[in-house]
Structure 1
Amino acid sequence: MNTPELTSDSDAPSVTRHNLLEPSILPIKRQQRSIGTLGFTWIWIGIAFMIATFQLGATGVSGLPLLQVVAVILLANFVLALLMTLTADIGTEHGLSFAVYLRAPFGVHGTHIPSLFRGLVAAIWFGIQTYLGALALSGIVEYLTGFDNWAVWYVIFAVVQVINTALGIKAVEFLSSIAAPAIIAISVWMYMTLDVLAVAKGVNIWTFVGDKPLTIMTLFLANVAFWSTLAIDIPNITRYVRTPVDAKGFFSRNRHIFLAQLVALPLTQTWIAVIGAASFIAAGDWNPINVIQGQSTGFSLIVLMVLVVLAQWSTNTAANLIPAALTFVNAGAPRVKYPTAVVIAGIIGTLSMPWAILDNLFAFLFSYGSFLSAIGGIMVADYYLIRRRRLNVPQLYELQGQFHYWRGFNPAGLLAWAASSVLAFFSGDWAFVVGFVSGLVIHGLLMKLWIVKRYPQQEIVSDSAEQWLATSVGQDWSYDADSDSFRRTPGGQG
């Protein structure tokens, strides 16, 4: 097998002096990947149990029968999970984080524009989840002591989560393994309690029909947009998922991912939405914290509130703090290390006034979904249609290398993102679909007709495919700090 030249150009500045290298954003080797099927499933259950998900169910049942709401949300999340498996392969094949991969379609400097936008959205979601968790903490303390001050717990809860996430992916996986069973327990209790409450009021949860105007398509697209954030940066997590040696096939390479994303995500998301709908029907309030406080006392109230806190905590670490931190590391390395980036994400999220955002959740979802869906389309076009999964990974860490393009920016990626984001933003409910498809088409055409001809991409013009692949050919991308160079090394069993 021919091996490409992977060392730095002799006439180019060392990448270590140009903020492209930092340990937390180097490719993850096979032996470093510790998350299996069950671990990834626990993570997804923890992620899906967001209190904001309850609001999606409540909004759905305010205008549609619950059976329709269930079918729409289940289908929407399954479709999104399918799209997510495409971007997930960037992590399982090459061990790359989201922000580092964006150096390919956007350039070594251009990556910071879309990746930091995603990082800010993730940080804001951290604030939302922290706020909801703080309400639960405040409820516990108020019941026990009479002291009611959610703002104090808002700050304390934020600090604890930042510390946990800064400890690394193993701490995140451990928390999810504890939180996920707790989440299942609390959800079962909540449904049974709400069903009894509804029956006592003479209401059947499954035949109730609200009177607010809502279309099936609006609910479908809102649920797709809900996870558009993770649809693009899921490689941040999947690069830690175990992969078998020489897993040449897409399905075998991503086998640990399929159960979590295609089963755990849709089922958990739909189940939580059902509880939100039942809460709205039976208690007139989608927020489970208020329902728990109204329906429970004593030890059961404390336990349930603790479980709510765990749910928000597990979501925040995997879905919000890690993605945000890695984008900040990518932009500020080597001065900004991973723990520092986690702190920055925590501060931004804490100051984002999430209580105001929750009052306009659907508008928030569709607004940022417009921009993020376009990034997803660009990633899929670049990774599959342009490069065919081949990637010159060492050049991602070169300032003056292949991905320098025009002054560090790839005009194709930036123009495609700008055009498709504008189209999506003014497409109303169809924002996610319009953004994804237009981003894919525009970027693909600009790369093929313009950029590739002007800025040759080695993995595209090369006759050999294997030298630009990693996991599927039993190899790892490895960086040697002593020689400041990358090598491909045989990958161990993951």
Structure 2
Amino acid sequence: MAPVELPKRTIAPFGIGMIWFGIAVQVTGFLVMTPLVQYYTVGELVWINLIGQLLVCLACFVTQEIGLKYGVSFATTITAVAGPLGGKIVGLVRALPAIIFVGLNGFIGASAVNMFTTAVFGFDNMVVGIIINASLLILVTIAGAKGIERFTTFAAPLMIIIGGIMFYVLMKTHNASLVDIWDLGRTAGTSKSWLYGFGVCLGGYAAIAMGFNDFTKDCKIKDGNMKKAARAHLIAYSIMSAPAFMFFTMIGIVTIVLVPGMTGSEVLPYLTNLVAGGNNLIIAILAIFVFVAQLSTNTAANLFPSVYVICALAPKKINFKTATVIVAVLAFVLQPWKYGPILDVFLAVFGAAGGPALGIIAVDYYYFRKRKYSLGDLFNSKGKYSYWHGINPVSLSCYLIGIVIGLLFLDYNYFVSLGATSVLYILAGNLFAKKFPVMVTETGENLTDFTVNDDPKVSI
């Protein structure tokens, strides 16, 4: 949980771009995003996915600087907003969807492992597949951000090649072109606002956006130029994430459109059988693709951020390795893969929780604190951020009200709850400034940071 000093940071802009590529290759897109074809055409979903991912990147930019400047994770900095105990509560709310996705991706990865062992060794046992996949998820995550970057850099070419083959065979088998299917969809006979689709995209990444400093705390700042580093990292992950997410998600959506009666959970088995044509060697290769895609996404997008939250619950007792095991086991015990048909609703609902959190963090860091933290107090449960019994009742009240507002406008929840909560927190912060002066201003002698505009050797 300690700050990562500048000389110890290892992630360059290319590295954060590769990590985002791994995050964006969501094999669970076959489960989560395919239900959207009920409300939109294929052509509309192309734009919704592309624009939605760019909005995700902009949301991540809000918290990116916190990691670059201070070298600390979300689980640490949320203390300044909500208090030591309140921060743990918000952290758990953030971790829940990530843990759900660990299970979803993990089940797909375990299915791929089982597919491989069945094709190569004739051994069909899903329990063994789950154990193998969970073990490898834990090993890669324990290696940290640099380990995840290295794995994704290795895996990216394989995912691009196999994904392209899958899409080509799918279109050729059904003698279809993008022109033919562009206007297909809206199977429910009704349509929704594009904002709902954007909200589903943002809901899927809300946990990452509100705590993107989990990743940027390990990012380098070249030549001590903070602004240049921030731009370079934003460009890198924007370029890598949107096309990757859109392409792999669209494979699932197109499959749903071309095959009547197809469900999201059936897409991967169908594509595998279609491409392999019963050839066990090809099945084994495709299984490796699915497994690698799942592993790259699951480690970076879901397991890694959740681990910091669990560590923060009892930092003196739970280390990074132990927390990784806890999250992995919990994700498989919950068995979230059984709830595929309602996952888009789940993400829309979580968007109602993710929007308010991001709004409060943005107002707190940029508007009230003017981008300053007292690092020592972030790690002190009885420091100046302790508020009332370790909880900031003002920020948590605004957070809960923001969630309710989002639920009242479910089709537009992320945007409505984000805007409403931001305004509400500004008003509430000024109203309770005398009661909790630390909530609206940063003063004192401990305002240490990693700002290195003049001296690239500055460290904590």
Same fold, TM exceeding 0.5? yes
CA shift in 2, pair 1:246/1:108, >3 Å: same
* 1:236 matched residue in structure 2: 214
Task: Mark the CA change 1:298 to 1:474 in structure 2 (over 3 Å): closer, same or farther.
Answer: farther
User: Counterpart amino acid of 2:353?
Assistant: F
AA at the equivalent of 1:243: I
| Partners of 2:185 and 2:257 within 8 A in 1 | no
Which whole-Å CA distance do the structure 2 matches of 1:393 and 1:290 have between them? 52
Q: Quick check: 1:292 aligned with 2:277?
A: no
In the alignment, the residues of structure 2 paired with residue 428 and residue 202 of structure 1 have an alpha-carbon distance, to the nearest angstrom, of: 31
Aligned partner letter, 2:205: W
Offset from partner CA, 1:241-269 (integer Å, 9 cap, x none): 111243253xx131332123322111111
**Match in the other structure for 1:189:** 165
Mean Cα displacement is larger for which, 118-127 or 137-146? 137-146
Q: Is the 8 A contact 1:85 1:257 kept in 2?
A: no
Q: Partner of 2:441 in structure 1?
A: 460
* C-alpha spacing 1:38/1:165, structure 2 compared with 1 (3 Å): same
* Alignment-mate amino acid for residue 134 of structure 1: A
Counterpart-to-counterpart distance in 1, 2:380 and 2:413? 35
CA gap 1:159/1:463 in 2 versus in 1, 3 angstroms: closer
Tell me the residue number matched to 2:254. 278
Deviation of 1:159 after TM superposition, in Å, equals 1.9
* Aligned twin of 1:65: 41
In the alignment, which residue of structure 2 is the partner of 1:224?
202
Counterpart check, 1:87 vs 2:63? yes
What corresponds to 2:343 in structure 1?
361
Q: Which of the residues 78, 90, 93 maps onto 1:117? A: 93
TM-score of the superposed pair, with normalisation by structure 2: 0.91
What CA deviation, in whole Å up to 9, does each residue of 1:264-308 have, x standing for no partner? 111111111221222223345442233112331232221121011
In the alignment, structure 1 residue 30 sits paired with structure 2 residue 10: no
Q: Note if 1:157 corresponds to 2:133.
A: yes
CA–CA distance in 2 between the matches of 1:277 and 1:186?
17
Question: Matched residues in 1 for 2:395 and 2:123: separation?
Answer: 52
**Counterpart code for 1:490:** V
Match of 2:406 in 1: 424
Moved more, 233-242 or 195-204: 195-204
Percent identical: 24
**Partner AA of 1:264 in structure 2:** M
Q: Is residue 54 of structure 1 aligned with residue 35 of structure 2?
A: no
- Look up the match of 1:302: 284
| Greater percentage in helix | 2
Q: 1:145 to 1:294 in 2, by over 3 A?
A: farther
- 1:384-419 alpha-carbon deviations (Å, 9 max, x no partner): 111121111211112222101111111121111111
Distance in 1 of aligned mates of 2:369 and 2:177: 59
Once the 2 structures are TM-superposed, how far is the Cα of residue 474 of structure 1 from its aligned partner? 5.5
Paired with 2:185 and 2:221, the residues of 1 have a C-alpha distance of 46
Give, in whole Å, the separation in 1 of the partners of 2:349 and 2:36.
Answer: 19
Cα distance in 2 for residues equivalent to 1:458 and 1:279: 50
- Secondary structure of the residue aligned to 1:470 is coil
2:205 and 2:353 mapped to 1: Cα distance? 13
RMSD: 2.5
How many matched pairs?
452
**What's the offset of the Cα at 1:367?**
2.3
> Which aligned pairs between 1:436-455 and structure 2 lie closer than 5 A?
436-450=418-432, 452-455=433-436
Deviates further, 45-54 or 146-155: 146-155
Residues 461, 389 of structure 1: alpha-carbon distance in 2 compared, 3 angstrom cutoff: closer
Verify: 1:379 aligned to 2:356, yes or no.
no
1:107 aligned to 71, 83, 86, which one? 83
Distance 2:454 2:284 in 1: 50
Pairwise mapping of residues 315-330 of structure 1 onto structure 2 (< 5 A)? 315-330=297-312
Give the aligned partner of residue 19 of structure 2.
43
Query: CA offset at residue 468 of structure 1?
Result: 4.8
For residues 167-188 of structure 1, the C-alpha deviation after alignment (integer angstroms, 9 at most, x for no partner) is: 3222222211112222111211
TM-score by length of 1: 0.85
Is 1:346 the equivalent of 2:344? no
Distance 1:342 1:273 in 2: 27
| Match for residue 214 of structure 1 among 180, 191, 208 | 191
Q: Is the 8 A contact 1:104 1:403 kept in 2?
A: yes
Structure 2 contact 23–297 (Cα < 8 Å) conserved: yes
Point out the more displaced range, 342-351 or 297-306: 297-306
SS of 1:335's equivalent in the other structure is coil
Distance 1:49 1:310 in 2: 10
1:313 to 284, 295, 301: 295
- 1:132 counterpart = 2:132: no
Q: Counterpart amino acid of 2:74?
A: F
The verdict on how the C-alpha distance between 1:400 and 1:63 changes in structure 2, with shifts beyond 3 A counting, is closer
* 1:202–1:403 distance in 2 versus 1, CA, 3 Å: closer
Residue type of the partner of 2:436?
Answer: Y
Are 1:256 and 2:219 matched, yes or no?
Answer: no
Q: CA deviation at 1:361?
A: 1.0
Q: Distance in 1 between matches of 2:246 and 2:42?
A: 11
Higher mean C-alpha displacement, 453-462 vs 270-279: 453-462
Q: Does 1:470 align with 2:447?
A: no
- Whichever residue aligns with residue 187 of structure 1, its letter is G
Residue of structure 2 equivalent to 1:401: 383
Q: CA deviation at 1:475?
A: 7.1
In structure 2, what is the Cα distance between the partners aligned to 1:190 and 1:75?
A: 24
- Counterpart CA distance in 2 for 1:442 and 1:143 is 57
Q: Which amino acid aligns with 2:239?
A: V
Q: Is the 8 A contact 1:222 1:429 kept in 2?
A: no
Answer yes or no: is the 8 Å Cα contact 2:95–2:207 preserved in 1.
no
CA 1:202–1:237 in 2, change beyond 3 Å: closer, same or farther? closer
Counterpart contact for 1:66–1:205, Cα < 8 Å: yes
Q: How far is the alpha carbon of 1:374 from its aligned partner?
A: 1.4
Match of 1:173 among 146, 149, 155: 149
Which residue identity lines up with residue 391 of structure 1 in the other structure?
Y
